[in-house]
Structure 1
Amino acid sequence: MKKAIFLDRDGTLNVEKEYLYQEKDLEFEKGTVEALSILKDLGYLLIVVTNQSGIARQYYTEEDLKHFHQAFQKKLSVFGLKIDKFYYCPHHLEQGIGKYKIDCSCRKPKPGMLEQGISEFDIDRKSSYMVGDTYADVQAGIAAGVSPILVRTGHGKREEEKLQEGEAKVFDNLLAFAQDRKQRESL
């Protein structure tokens, strides 16, 4: 079995920008590249799980999102890095239009995207993590049986108030989490 870091995208890996889908607007959070490098060196699969209600609202298409993720990979490849898989939820029950207006199992806080990754990559839940900047990310991690991590980037500082005692570990950013993993795994 493999170990993985499930990563929220917006506000965790890249700077939070509402309904981000254009390459020109992609800006990594400070320390993202170094963090991903550390986690990859520790043997983790890097799997993005991202709610993309902009598709459901018809702000952009699934094809637009695929092009954006290709650009994301290209930007990381300069540093010898790549995301092992991008999973996305294009649905929104209230704001969705047409086929996207459904109550799905993939929209976080539901664990559908994580479950898909766990199944596809034969992932060991006990040695894996869900890292994100919202309480929905934490809840998805808990529901999937992986360790939830909240980062204070993006919406994280505000969302931290929603945490119950001991519900998730909190770090200033993805790099702080990666450095903590490196330190703990070297003991």
Structure 2
Amino acid sequence: MQYSVKAAFLDRDGVLNKDTGYVGSIADFQWQEGAKEALRILTEWEYTIIIVTNQSGVARGYYTEEAVRRLHHWLSVEAVRCGSRITAVYYCPYLPGAPIKAYDYDSDWRKPNPGMVLQACKDYAVERSRSFLIGDSPRDIECGKRARVDSYLFTGGSLADFVRNILKERKQSGRL
């Protein structure tokens, strides 16, 4: 298989939406400043957008996997409405020591492990040297490092401005 797709891997909570705790429903979802514009910019620059998100709220019993899937479907529809496209959403519902035993598992998909990113790279023929990850925690950045994908720590402000700066830097360094 030839790997030629460039991807933007995005964490969900704290990047696309404000991290207000365990976000398991559309009603709880609050867009991060500039997030819709950031999605549109990434699409204009021909990045395949892939969300990679830990969802331990499932393992803790705060919401179900079905609720997570509904939220992610809605998020994909909203992306289209703003002129973008989310190609895939990978999530990890597992948590070692979880109160719900079915989810008490140390998964290689749970960040900082790189399982979600590596699976997406296989599924979509992602060329890692042309791709990057944006996260809001050291766990996200470590995931990117383990997957050998450039990683950027988002600490707040406008996600659109943050993405513009990343793309400018990547263009200057020839990593588009």
Query: What's the TM-score once normalised by structure 1's chain length?
Result: 0.85
Residues 1:69 and 2:72 aligned together: yes
Q: Distance in 1 between matches of 2:158 and 2:142?
A: 18
Q: Which amino acid aligns with 2:139?
A: A
Between stretches 5-14 and 79-88, larger displacement belongs to 79-88
Candidates 50, 53, 58, aligned match of 2:56: 53
Instruction: Please say if 1:108 is aligned against 2:108.
Output: no
Task: Say if 1:104 and 1:83 are closer, same or farther in 2 by CA, change over 3 A.
Answer: same
CA distance in 2, matches of 1:117, 1:99: 24
SS of equivalent residue, structure 1 residue 16: coil
CA deviation after TM superposition for structure 1 residue 183, in Å: 2.9
> 1:177 — aligned with what?
162
Rounded to whole Å, the distance in 2 between the matches of 1:82 and 1:56 is 28
Q: Indicate the residue corresponding to 2:19 in structure 1.
A: 16
The answer to whether the 8 A contact 2:9-2:50 is kept is yes
Q: Tell me how far apart the structure 2 counterparts of residues 94 and 22 of structure 1 sit (CA, whole Å).
A: 24
> What does residue range 1-187 of structure 1 map to in structure 2 within 5 Å?
1-153=4-156, 172-184=157-169
Question: 1:132 offset after TM fit, Å?
Answer: 0.4
Change (3 A) 1:134 1:186: closer
Unaligned runs of 5+ in 1: 154-171
Q: Which residue of 2 aligns with 1:166?
A: none
Pairs aligned (count): 169
SS at structure 2 position matched to 1:46:
strand
CA distance in 1, matches of 2:168, 2:106: 41
Superposed CA RMSD: 1.5
Shift of 1:184: 4.2
Report the CA distance between 1:96 and its aligned residue.
Answer: 4.4
Q: 2-side partners of 1:186 and 1:148: how far apart?
A: 15
SS in 2 for 1:20: coil
Deviation at 1:95, TM superposition (A): 2.5
**Aligned partners of 2:128 and 2:167: how far apart in 1?**
19
**Mapped partners of 2:132, 2:21: distance in 1:** 25
Judge conservation of contact 1:3–1:44 (CA < 8 Å) in 2. Answer: yes
Residue pair 1:47, 1:83 contacting (<8 A) in 2 also: yes
Is the CA contact 1:96–1:102 (under 8 Å) kept in the aligned structure 2? Answer: no
Percent sequence identity over aligned pairs = 36
